[in-house]
Amino acid sequence: MDRSLFFVNTRSLVGAVLLGLVFVLVQQIAHRIDALINPACVIIGGVTWATFTGLVVLLYRQPAGIITAEVAAFTGLATGLSVLAPFFILANGAGSIVYSLVSWKLPMKTWLHHFLAQLATNLVGNILVAVGLRVLLHLPTGVILVAAGITTLAGVIGGTVLTKKIYENIRRAGLAN
């Protein structure tokens, strides 16, 4: 993997927008399933967010990671995906930057590397969304901690497994930068 933090070319920019649109579609479905299960815990949406955040950064680096993250966040806001959508704007961008910084420092070849990137990304992203749970929904701290904890745990585990497996297959196929 190229160890650069930034990579700007037509392929990465177009790929970022296209993956952003796919991300939007996946999140639309995932958040609706989560709303049926438990609206405070974004389990499926958290796993898909973590996976897409990691994959875009690994495949296209920055600014593609932020482009994809913000296409998804602003579309989620425009479509009324969640009452927390305004907080997705900051959480998605920050999550992408955090994943970029971790993956820039680590070779991203082992389970531990992917786990550490997802752990840092999910902690930052879910802390920012937890602020939204407090500000917009006025939830008690205990409820916020449980909801954010469940979402973070699901995102770290699911995101680690899916990102590593998908990225390895893309690299093996010769499709990664």
139-166: average pLDDT: 96
Q: What does the pLDDT read at residue 1?
A: 47
In a domain, 177, yes or no: no
Q: How many domains does the chain have?
A: 1
122, 137, 125: which is closest to 82 by C-alpha?
Answer: 137
Q: What does the pLDDT read at residue 177?
A: 66
In a domain, 1, yes or no: no
In a domain, 4, yes or no: no
> Mind listing the pLDDT tens digit for each residue in 153-162?
999 999 999 9
**Domain region containing 58:** 10-172
- CATH number for the domain including 94? 1.10.1760
Rounded CA separation 18/148 (Å): 29
- pTM of the predicted structure, to 2 decimals: 0.92
10-37: average pLDDT: 88
In a domain, 3, yes or no: no
CB-neighbour burial class of residue 123 (10 A; exposed 0-12, middle 13-18, buried 19+): middle
Give me the percent of the chain exceeding a pLDDT of 90: 72
In a domain, 82, yes or no: yes
> Mind listing the pLDDT tens digit for each residue in 81-125?
888 899 999 999 999 999 999 999 999 999 999 999 999 999 999
> Is the confidence at residue 49, as pLDDT, over 80?
yes
145, 94, 139: which is closest to 121 by C-alpha?
Answer: 94
